[in-house]
Amino acid sequence: MNGKICMITGANSGIGKATALGLAEMDATVIMVCRNQKWGKDAREEIREKTGNQSVDLLIADLSSQKAMIQLVADFKSKYQNLHVLINNAGVLLQNRSVTIDGIETTFAVNFLAPFLLTHLLLDTIKASAPARIINVSSATHTWSHLNLDDLQNENRYDAWTAYSQSKLALILFTYELAKRLKHTNVTVNCLHPGVIDTNIGSTTHVEHQISSKSFNKLRRGAETSIFLATSPDVENVTGKYFIRKKVAKSSTESYDEVIAQKLWDISVELTQLDSH
């Protein structure tokens, strides 16, 4: 992975941090996207120290804010000309409904709209860097959900797991649709279920810890498929697939519905004002 530039969102803790560490061990240039400056710096220094790789960079952005994402991409493009791997890893699971600065329900905004917008804003750079890979971290919980296009923001009745699983289903629909649209670009798009890993995704205290050897082994297992999809020559021509434990798996029946995917795409363009960027 020497010379390859990889961006990972939500990289200061949990699976994102383990993924960043794994890619840094493989000599990649790693760009950690984190929300909090201190936690991000601490995680970056830990990864640099553990791997000896000094090419670990940090960019700060709150992925619940579309303005922050536009700034993130501007910051990235001021420093880098290429992006070979984008891993949309960041996610939230919130017990109570809240809305972002853009007026969008937070779980849907962070878990789905952020990857949708960030990917599009970086797409020109990714295409120019081909062969390149886009990887979306979804969840097997998507099978619990039906995508209610009339209530994507859970306004009628909010339930944390329903909101979470619906956002992860949306991410898979986006993966398949984007893969179709990028078919002849030498850019692959895949998604995955990382396994049931004890991360701090549902934490409201946001306490960060150094990775202990025991918890690191669990998190490393959760990061394995992301790292595999980012690096393995076995999947260099594989696109539009859902992976579990480094193997192609079937996602839910609804996730393959191209009509729903197209409608979701159109709604997402509107919610992110993508046409105006």
Find the domain containing 138 and state its range. 5-276
Residue 277 has a pLDDT of: 57
Residues 156-179 have pLDDT tens digits of 889 899 999 999 999 999 999 999
Q: How confident is the model at residue 218 (pLDDT cuts 50, 70, 90)?
A: low
Which pair of tokens denotes residue 144? 């619990």
pTM confidence score:
0.91
Residue 205 has a pLDDT of: 32
Pick the more confident residue, 198 or 183: 183
Edge to edge, the sheet with strand 56-60 lists 56-60, 29-34, 5-9, 85-88, 132-137, 187-193, 242-244, 247-249
- Tally the domains of the chain: 1
What is the CATH number for 10?
3.40.50.720
Q: How far is CA 165 from CA 24, 108, 172, 225, 269, in A?
A: 30, 10, 11, 20, 21
Q: How confident is the model at residue 196 (pLDDT cuts 50, 70, 90)?
A: low
The span from the CA of 240 to the CA of 177, in Å, is: 8
Question: Which of 1, 81, 84, 69 has its CA nearest to residue 33?
Answer: 69
In the chain, the amino acid numbered 76 is: F
Residue 274 has a pLDDT of: 85
- Active-site residue numbers? 164
Q: What percent of the chain has pLDDT over 70?
A: 91
